[in-house]
Every structure is written in C-alpha cells, then in structure tokens.
Amino acid sequence: MIPVQGVENQTIAVLGLGRSGRATVAALAAGGANVVVWDDGADTREEAAQEGMKVVDLTRDAHWDGISALITSPGIPHLYPRPHPVIAKACELGVPVDNDIGLFFRSFASREWEDFDTAPRVIAVTGSNGKSTTTALIHHILRESGRPTQMGGNIGTGVLSLDPAHDGEVVVLELSSYQTDLARALTPDIAVFTNLSPDHLDRHGGPGGYFAAKRRLFAEGGPDRAIIGVDEPEGRYLAGQLAMAPQDDRVIRISSGQKLERFGWSVFARKGFLSEYRKGRQIASIDLREVTGLPGEHNHQNAAAAYAAVRAVNIPPREIERAFHSFQGLPHRSQTVAEIDGIRWVNDSKATNVDAAAKALTAFKRIRWIAGGMGKDGGIEALSPYLDEVVKAYFIGHSARDFALQAGRIPHDVLGTMDEAVARAAAEAQPGETVLLAPAAASFDQYPNFEKRGEHFTALVLALTS
C-alpha cells in the first residue's frame, strides 16, 4: 500500500466503494486522515459499516462540515452526461474533487528515495485501443530485463495498493480517460498515447472532451518523454504541441504503417518489421512476423509503443526483442491458446465490436472464424472488406442468423453454442489454418462478460489436447 501524503488529521470523503474506493479508504487512513464514505448501494454501505468504515450521507448538506476533499471512483460521472449529486454538491460547496490517480502521483515519492542509487520512475499509458496490451508488454520487457517493476492502474492492481517503490523500480500504469480526466496530479516520467477512436463520448461531452481527457496526461503532467501514436490527426496534433521542433527527441513518434524518418526520435512498424530511427538514421530493427504474442498491425503498434517506452529507460534493443518472443499476450486479446496438429487456436473474445474484429481478421491467414452473440447496430456488414482470409464462419448465439444473412459469399454454419462451434471447427480445420474467436458482438446472451466467453472457448480448446 502507498499511504497518502498530506492528509494527516484531515477529514476526507470517499465516494464509491468498489475496488479502487476501498483501496483509497485504506491508503488515506494509513496517511492519518479521518475518512468518511458513501456509496449509492445500500448493501455496500451496510457492508462498509460492518467493516468499521464511517458511513455518512453525503447527499445531505449537514454532513459536509469539515470535509476538506472528496475522492471519487473513476466510474462515477463528475460532469457529463450529468454530475453525480454528491460530486455536484462538492463543487457547489467548493470542496476539491480528486481520484486515486491524483493521490498516487502526489504520494508515490517518499523520503526513502534519498537513499536510492536510482530514483524510481513511472510510465503511464493511455489511448483508446491497446492500452492494456502495451502496459503489460512494457511490464514484461522490464521484468525480463531484470528491472524491478510493478504494474497497476486500470489493469491489475489499483494504484494505491501497489507497494512502495524500490531502488531503480519502474512502475507501469494503464490510465483510462475516466482516470486522467479528474486527477489533480499527473506527473509520470514517461507518458504514452497509443491512438484515438470514438469512445465514452457521452461521459466526456463529445469527441473533443474525450481527447482533452487523454491530453491532460501530457499537458498537466509534463513528462520527460512523450510517446505519441501519430496514425490519427489527434496524435499528430498532440505531438506537434509537445515538440519544440521536428528534431525534438523528447517526443517519440510511433506508428503502425507509416515511415517516420525525419524526426529526432521515432519507432514504427511496417510490413512486419519494427524500426527505431534517431535523427534520420536507423539504429535498430526487429522482425515481428514470428512474434506469436503480437499478431497483426494493431499489435505491431502496441509493440512500437512498448519498445519506445523501454528504450526511454535504457533497455537495449536485443533485450527487447528477446522479451517480445516470450510475451504470451493478454487473455482474450488475440491470445494463442494452443497449436494442435498444425492448427492455431486464437481467443480474441475482447473483440466485441466490428472494429476490433476487423483487426483480428487482418492479423491471420486461412481463418475459421467463430463469431456471434448479442450483435450491435449494423451487425457484421462493415466487416465485408476484411473477410478474404475467412475459409469458413461458425455463427453462434442470439445474432447467429442475422450474421449469416450478412456473411455474403463466405461458407458458414449457423450453430447454437460455443461447444458446437469449437467441435465443428475442430472436425473441419486443416493444418496451417487458424480457428479464431472474434465475436464482433457482446457476450450477454450466453455469458456474463467477454472474459467468461473467452475462458469457455479456451477450456474447450484445451480439452481437445487431452
């Protein structure tokens, strides 16, 4: 745990008692604060009271006397589409509102650092897609290189539940727009922006607000190095705002598909090869085509971002390349589950929409495609340009028949369940083919979440080996 600094003897309110909220309560108490809590759920409030937390009704003015700050969980709206009533009350009363990310950045450094040979550093990763994979890959490379490292934030451990830093440690954080939007302190040493696509627009009041939430990590934080994906206009704009000139190597531009040779420092992936350039000269190259844990152009962009981040903390290219090959990927994201009799089985259950499914469908050759579930508006019609490598499709779940009507010329079966799809694909697949679960649909017709769907697929595949 990281005790929160600067709160001794202050009364701090915490709104929301999920994972991050409970960790925040503990970290504030460890820092000497008098903590009061509130949650919209009556059962959660009762459980908190039984655990010894001081529950007060923050919807009532009388309970705000003496409260010096409100700490809110990231999932609770603070502005759009409308502020939560407790946050609105705090703003009305002039009580500062923060979140656990802000508390982390103001509390991570400690007096113990004076005895360290090498100051700990923080790498923070944000963007629309690839944040989790990029964060996990950076952490993996650091660990494989022998550097002390922790990972947390929007992936793994909550930031205030991390251990106090060790000498020379690198902490890697995944930060969502919900987390960066509100944090009052954002001071990473290295900040990564992967890409931008429309998401959470109601929460941020539109695309401008969404981009502004991501941009805060760089504008407010002033990182020593900014790693910026420049495959979208917003990334190019952000890189231009941060750099003093094209040769300013404090900004490392990254891309999947573009050659970036004219800048002070750049990393890009094209045609399966990653290249690092400095001041117009190539200084390293890695063949990504045989890196099984990072298939497809979208993962090559993740590889470029992670490579740039660890180069910024002086990890040599050859160590990075070795770590790439031992990276297994994250569960449910283009995850190779097994190779059986020359057939590759890939779990991309996280591909819950057509954009994500398109990326998966372009990452492999000779595909037997398992798709379906609770389809979204438009079904799979937008995927027609990405089906050239599909040998056959196996449609399951609520939208199976609708998907079949949109499948066009590709051979397909309409099936009921994952069990049937895996069994049929196993019976028909040939060596050299890939059986790909990329549903292009939500899971809620048959599973509580995409993780459970992916776990079921994985279990069925592994059962084929027994």
Q: Taking a C-beta distance cutoff of 8 angstroms, is the pair 71, 99 a contact?
A: yes
Beta partners for residue 37, in sequence order: 14, 55
Query: Two tokens at 331?
Result: 């569960």
Q: Does 68 carry a binding-site annotation?
A: no
Q: How far apart are CA 387 and CA 381, in angstroms?
A: 11
Compute the C-alpha angle 255/257/260, nearest 5°: 55
Residues of the chain within CATH 3.40.50.720 domain(s) are: 11-98
My answer on whether omega of the bond before 81 falls inside 30° of 0, hence cis, is yes
Comparing CA positions, the residue from 197, 198, 241, 233 lying closest to residue 216 is 241
State the average pLDDT for the chain. 95
Give, as one character, the DSSP assignment of residue 63. Answer: G
Q: Does 161 carry a binding-site annotation?
A: no
Q: Taking a C-beta distance cutoff of 8 angstroms, is the pair 90, 84 a contact?
A: no
* Helix or strand run (H / E) with residue 422: helix 418-428
Q: Does 416 carry a binding-site annotation?
A: no
User: So what's the pLDDT on residue 222?
Assistant: 87
Phi then psi for residue 348, to 5 deg, are: -120, 50
CA 44 to chain centre: 27
CB atoms within 10 A of CB 432: 10
Sign of CA dihedral 207, 213, 218, 220: positive
The pTM score is: 0.89
Q: Measured between alpha carbons, how far apart are the two ends of the chain, in Å?
A: 42
Comparing CA positions, the residue from 401, 387, 385 lying closest to residue 438 is 387
Q: Does 127 carry a binding-site annotation?
A: yes
Compute the C-alpha angle 334/330/151, nearest 5°: 150
Query: Which three-class secondary structure state does DSSP give residue 394?
Result: strand
Cβ-in-10-Å burial (0-12, 13-18, 19+) of 191 comes to buried
For the sheet containing 97-98, what is the strand order?
Answer: 54-55, 34-38, 11-15, 67-72, 97-98
Comparing CA positions, the residue from 285, 228, 282 lying closest to residue 255 is 228
C-alpha dist (Å) from residue 355 to 198, 311, 335, 387, 391: 11, 30, 17, 13, 20
Is residue 198 pLDDT above 80, yes or no? no
| Torsion on CA atoms 324, 325, 328, 329, rounded to nearest 10 | 40
Q: How far apart are CA 427 and CA 429, in angstroms?
A: 6
Sign of CA dihedral 36, 188, 2, 146: positive
- Provide the residue type at 46 as one letter: E
Q: Taking a C-beta distance cutoff of 8 angstroms, is the pair 186, 105 a contact?
A: yes
Is residue 200 pLDDT above 80, yes or no? no
Residues of the chain within CATH 3.40.1190.10 domain(s) are: 109-326
Exposure of 8 in the CB half-sphere (CA atoms within 13 A): 2
Q: Where are the beta strands (DSSP E) in 30-153?
A: 34-38, 54-55, 67-72, 97-98, 121-126, 149-153
Q: Does 130 carry a binding-site annotation?
A: yes
- Please state at what angle helix 207-219 crosses helix 233-242, rounded to 10 degrees: 30
C-alpha dist (Å) from residue 150 to 137, 138, 142, 172, 230: 12, 10, 9, 6, 28
Residues of the chain within CATH 3.90.190.20 domain(s) are: 335-463
Q: How far apart are CA 61 and CA 76, in angstroms?
A: 20
Segment 329-333 mean pLDDT: 88
Q: pLDDT over 70 for what percent of the chain?
A: 100
Is residue 242 pLDDT above 90, yes or no? yes
Q: For 419-462, write each residue's pLDDT tens digit.
A: 999 999 999 999 999 999 999 999 999 999 999 999 999 999 99
Q: Residue holding tokens 């009533």?
A: 85
* Helix or strand run (H / E) with residue 183: none
Q: How far apart are CA 418 and CA 424, in angstroms?
A: 10
Among 3.40.50.2000, 3.40.1190.10, 3.30.565.40, 3.30.530.20, name the CATH number for the domain at 109-326: 3.40.1190.10
CB atoms within 10 A of CB 92: 11
pLDDT grade, residue 398 (50/70/90)? very high
Is residue 169 pLDDT above 90, yes or no? yes
Task: Give, in words, the CATH class of 335-463.
Answer: alpha beta
User: So what's the pLDDT on residue 463?
Assistant: 96
Is residue 377 pLDDT above 80, yes or no? yes
Q: Does 133 carry a binding-site annotation?
A: yes
Residue 128 vs residue 231, higher pLDDT = 231
Q: List Cβ neighbours of 408 (8 Å cut-off, separation of 6 or more).
A: 384, 387
Comparing CA positions, the residue from 371, 370, 366, 372 lying closest to residue 343 is 366
Q: How far apart are CA 413 and CA 420, in angstroms?
A: 10
Q: How far apart are CA 198 and CA 424, in angstroms?
A: 36
Q: For the chain, how long is the longest CA-to-CA vector?
A: 70
Architecture of domain 11-98: 3-Layer(aba) Sandwich (3.40)
pLDDT grade, residue 376 (50/70/90)? confident
Q: For 302-326, write each residue's pLDDT tens digit.
A: 999 999 999 999 999 999 999 999 9
Q: Does 99 carry a binding-site annotation?
A: no
